Amino acid sequence: MPAGYPAEYAKILDAAEKEGRLVIYANTEQFAVNPILEDFKAAFPKIQVDYLELKAADLYTRATSEIAANTLKADFIWSSAMDLQYQLVDENAVATYASVEKPNMPSWALYKDQLYGVTFEPVAIVYNKKLVPEADVPQTRDAFAKLLETKKADYVGKVAMYDPERSGLGFFVISHDARVGDGIWKLVKAMGPTSPKLYVATGQMLEKVGSGEHSIAYNIIGPYALLKAEKDPNIGIVMPKDYTQILTRIALIPKAAPHPNAGKVFLDYLLSKRGQQVIADKALLYSIRADIQGKATAAKLIADMGDKLKPIAITPALLDDLDPAKRLPFYKKFNNALAGK
């Protein structure tokens, strides 16, 4: 049993070991999550783990379809789609479990003992070090806009970002940009004359920045940028100094989980000091606990940036991002800004 846990936790662990299996639905890429799964298996060898990687929208659709048909296989659902995870709460599909690690978590990353933010992921600007001179690297959105305005010819076809109409994550991050202030619209308007390329996947943008097809990309999820930069010396990363949004991968245990105790043990592991250290050091997904040290940690980001970090809290407001009546006017405003209107 993990050190420091209450004696009654032995009942949960015993039940989990008798269940003997844990099925995880998640959208974290397998290569990033493997170190976490390997360490969990080392800590709890009696629990067999099956990990199914799905795109966020497919994950939600599969989970809800299985729940409706009473055929759910997942014991644990873990996704960066914060809005869709909250939607499962709204649909009364999430079990309530007060993790023993709850006191170690920031309040904005918790919701009613049902949703737990596991990571502290910055949203960054990524650039090719060979193509963007060091003196030109934008540290703020305003500086990014000025760079594109003053050196437009250098950046035609060389700027990448998410397509908010085709990418749920792309819409999520840029719509939250707009909630912080109007600076995003100045940047989008400056991007327009450069004919930016719009994508649905982070990996595509990182590959094309690394290869030099693009020079710079906006709103890239920090862990994937860091993983790419570890392997590709051409990749540079900027945490914008005007503000840097923070996302979290939300974990939950479904009410209909076939092996609910195994789900509880995995949740507690992810939130534990041991699990969070693996998340920081090996998965590079940025640990959320304040007592974890290292490069990919909340502690390091907070020390570097303080109140310039803007975590997106787990609240009912996340459902606003799924409302078509609010999305359509945003799409129009985005496209008008790209067109210089």
In tens digits, what is the pLDDT along the chain, a chain of 341 residues?
Answer: 788 899 999 999 999 999 999 999 999 988 889 999 999 999 999 999 999 999 888 999 999 999 999 999 999 999 999 999 999 999 999 999 999 999 999 999 999 999 999 999 999 999 999 999 999 999 999 999 999 999 999 999 999 999 999 998 999 999 999 999 888 999 999 999 999 999 998 999 999 999 999 999 999 999 999 999 999 999 999 999 999 999 999 999 999 999 999 999 999 999 999 999 999 999 999 999 999 999 999 999 999 999 999 999 999 999 988 888 889 999 999 999 999 88
Q: Are 115 and 316 contacting, i.e. CB atoms less than 8 angstroms apart?
A: no
Identify whether residues 328 and 228 lie together within a single domain.
yes
Within a domain: 73: yes
Domain CATH number, residue 215: 3.40.190.10
Within a domain: 310: no
Quote the CA–CA distance of 298 and 287 in Å, as a whole number: 6
Q: What is the residue-wise DSSP string for 157-221?
A: T-EEEE-TTT-HHHHHHHHHHHHH-THHHHHHHHHGGG--EEES-HHHHHHHHHHTS-SEEEEEE
Within a domain: 29: yes
In the chain, the amino acid numbered 144 is F
Whose tokens are 């060091």? That residue is 134
Domain residues for 253?
A: 9-120+248-296
Identify whether residues 145 and 194 lie together within a single domain.
yes
Whose tokens are 């789900």? That residue is 263
Identify whether residues 24 and 101 lie together within a single domain.
yes
Identify whether residues 260 and 224 lie together within a single domain.
no
Within a domain: 307: no
Identify whether residues 327 and 181 lie together within a single domain.
yes
Within a domain: 308: no
Identify whether residues 162 and 254 lie together within a single domain.
no
pTM for the complete prediction?
Answer: 0.94
Within a domain: 142: yes
Identify whether residues 136 and 80 lie together within a single domain.
no
Number of folded domains that form the chain: 2
Identify whether residues 140 and 193 lie together within a single domain.
yes
Any idea of the CA torsion for 33, 35, 40, 43, to the nearest 10 degrees? -170
